[in-house]
């Protein structure tokens, strides 16, 4: 029971737009975490700091599996269409509301509490959205083309990140003709715009989705009175299904999650915080890489219809395991300033001196921008302490080199290295919706596929940047130690996937 070719594109369009908006909503919070922290969470108050940690670090990701349970159950009970309509409304409403919450200065402690609650709602909604969209499209798709059609849904997470980065950069630059004034305005109030814009996008998406029909497989099940009475019990209480849920998690989604978040989040974080590349460059290079790599979701999704899902996903994990360390070593080598220190810069800016009074001592920070012949530039910051009674500054620490602006050639090498990582993402992620849909029966599909997906993608994947960062604080000698987490998780997942997962695509998902 499949939809006509014309109808399937309406289904894909309506599902993808909504899912893309949900990912956009989810990622703007992460992309603006530092701005949000200064608006809502004063670090001087320990309880507010605790809320900050919870809200910006964990809550959104950790509640996603709970969203999968709540909305997955609902989707198997009342239908796919209304459930993922509901998740869209919750996501859009909470994102819009974040843009309206007064700052800590205005309403005090209520501000971080409200933001935390809204972030929890965002996570819950996202937990319910993806499984619904993937199931909905797969249940409309003809056999033999399920990988191809569901791969369009798979592009939405990456495109949501792309749109969030694009909107933030546009707003950050567009508030004033003077870039510095524009950034200042953005940090003061402009950051609210990306959140508020969401309501328009969600409104359009709700209108489109309201015009959609229920999934034909679910409608048939409902008319025959075969809808599950207790999807949670059937999904996780019966061994036959539970063992497949566990296999989906440990043999596919956990590896997919870490590869996804390493390639698109940790890469950006590493380039900005470890390589010290300029804010704008570290984001625009990710935008380019995503733009070039996104079509490959459809390439690999479509290919999986011909050769099976398993080996494409496993190959993606294998390549990630092999190439992560060389790629990140390249990031370090290409942004190293050692060779430039022996060269004479073509220009050195006037030193900017900033002073801070700490414990009756004066800390002076001197910043200079040095630009070289090939376009490479960096800011050199030196900190000196003037002790009480002393007339001359005492050298305090070695200079720090930040805000590196890479030469054009090196910039595009970075884009290529991120692109390669996003290709690994497209290999593991392109076929996975079809793979998950084919693993579970229609009556409990929404619940069964949502939970392993959101534990794999949300918990294992979402925590990647934080765990990787923590590893670097434990072992400070190795800048690449953070990669151990995605490499080990991918390795375990690869072995389990290779040994236990079948490469045979299920031609009939109407069971």
Partner 1 sequence: MGLIWMLMAPLSMFYLIKTALHQIALHPVTDTKVQWGVFVIVFIPIAIGLCIFGWYAWKEEYKRQM
Please report how close the Cβ of residue 442 comes to partner 1 at its closest, in angstroms.
18
Least separation in angstroms between residue 500's CB and partner 1 is 5
By C-beta, is 64 or 81 nearer to partner 1? 64
Q: Among residues 104 and 411, whose Cβ is nearest to partner 1?
A: 104
Q: Which of 510, 442, 7, 437 is nearest to 211 (CA)?
A: 7
Measured from the CB of residue 54, what is the shortest distance to partner 1 in angstroms? Answer: 7
The residues near 330 (Cβ < 8 Å, ≥ 6 apart) are: 413, 417
Rounded to a whole number of angstroms, the minimum distance from the CB of residue 69 to partner 1 is 12
430 Cβ contact partners less than 8 Å away, ≥ 6 residues apart: 147, 151, 154, 296, 297, 298, 299, 300, 301, 304, 312
CB of 463 to partner 1, least distance (A): 8
Residue 199 or 247: which CB sits closer to partner 1?
Answer: 247
Based on CB atoms, which residue is closest to partner 1, 9 or 500? Answer: 500
**Minimum CB separation from partner 1 for residue 508, in Å?**
17
* Cα torsion through 107, 112, 118, 122, rounded to 10: 150
Smallest gap from residue 260 Cβ to partner 1 (A): 18
DSSP code for 287:
H
Nearer to partner 1, 240 or 338 (CB): 240
Which residues lie near partner 1 (CB under 8 A)?
A: 46, 49-50, 53-54, 57-58, 62, 239, 242-244, 246-247, 249-250, 455, 459, 463, 466-467, 470, 474, 492, 496, 499-500, 502
Q: Which is nearer to partner 1, 279 or 500 (CB)?
A: 500
- Which ranges of 1-103 would DSSP assign to H, the alpha helix? 5-31, 33-40, 46-53, 60-62, 64-78, 80-98
Nearer to partner 1, 45 or 187 (CB): 45
Core vs surface per residue 113-125: b (16+ CB within 10 A) or e: bbbbebbbbbbbb
Cα 494 to Cα 313: distance, rounded to the nearest angstrom: 9
- d(C-alpha 458, C-alpha 115), whole Å: 20
Rounded Cα gap, residues 489 and 233, in angstroms: 29
Q: Facing residues of 386 across strands?
A: 362
């Amino acid at each position: 029971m499949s939809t006509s070719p014309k109808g399937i594109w309406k289904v894909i369009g309506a599902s993808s737009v909504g899912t893309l908006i949900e990912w956009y909503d989810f990622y703007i919070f992460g992309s603006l975490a530092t701005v949000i922290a200064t608006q809502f969470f004063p670090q001087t108050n320990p309880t507010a700091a605790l809320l900050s940690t919870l809200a910006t670090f964990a809550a959104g990701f950790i509640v996603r599996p709970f969203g999968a349970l709540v909305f997955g159950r609902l989707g198997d009970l009342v239908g796919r269409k209304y459930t993922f309509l509901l998740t869209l409304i919750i996501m859009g409403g909470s994102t819009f509301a974040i843009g309206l919450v007064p700052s800590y200065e205005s309403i005090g402690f209520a501000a971080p509490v409200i933001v935390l609650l809204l972030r929890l709602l965002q996570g819950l909604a996202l937990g319910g959205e993806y499984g619904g969209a993937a199931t909905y499209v797969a249940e409309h798709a003809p056999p033999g083309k399920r990988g191809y059609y569901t791969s369009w849904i798979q592009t939405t997470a990456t495109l949501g990140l792309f749109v969030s980065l694009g909107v933030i950069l546009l707003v950050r630059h567009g508030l004033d003709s003077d870039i510095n004034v524009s950034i200042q305005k953005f940090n003061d109030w402009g950051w609210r715009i990306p959140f508020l814009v969401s309501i328009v996008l969600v409104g359009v998406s709700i209108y489109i989705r309201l015009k959609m029909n229920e999934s034909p497989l679910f409608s048939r099940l409902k008319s025959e009175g075969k809808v599950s009475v207790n999807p949670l019990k059937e999904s996780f209480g019966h061994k036959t299904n539970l063992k497949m849920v566990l296999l989906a998690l440990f043999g596919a989604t956990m590896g997919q999650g870490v590869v996804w978040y390493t390639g698109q989040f940790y890469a950006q974080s590493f380039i900005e915080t470890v390589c010290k590349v300029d804010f704008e460059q570290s984001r625009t290079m990710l935008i380019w890489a995503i733009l070039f790599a996104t079509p490959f979701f459809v390439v690999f999704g479509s290919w999986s219809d011909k050769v099976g899902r398993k080996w494409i996903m496993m190959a993606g994990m294998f390549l990630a395991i092999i190439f992560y360390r060389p790629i990140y070593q390249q990031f370090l080598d290409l942004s190293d300033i050692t060779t430039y220190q022996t060269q004479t810069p073509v220009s050195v800016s006037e030193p900017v001196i900033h002073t801070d009074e700490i414990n009756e001592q004066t800390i002076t920070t001197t910043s200079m921008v040095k630009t070289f012949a090939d376009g490479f530039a960096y800011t050199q910051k030196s900190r000196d302490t003037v002790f009480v009674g002393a007339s001359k500054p005492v050298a305090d620490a070695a200079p720090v080199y930040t805000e590196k602006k890479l030469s054009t050639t090196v910039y595009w090498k970075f884009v290529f290295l991120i692109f390669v990582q996003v290709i690994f993402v497209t290999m593991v992620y392109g076929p996975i919706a079809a793979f998950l849909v084919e693993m579970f029966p229609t009556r409990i599909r929404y619940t069964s596929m949502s939970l392993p997906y959101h534990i794999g993608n949300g918990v294992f994947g979402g925590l990647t940047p934080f765990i990787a960062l923590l590893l670097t604080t434990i072992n400070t000698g190795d800048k690449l130690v953070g990669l151990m987490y995605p490499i080990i998780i991918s390795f375990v997942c690869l072995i389990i996937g290779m040994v236990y997962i079948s490469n045979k695509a299920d031609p009939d998902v109407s069971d």
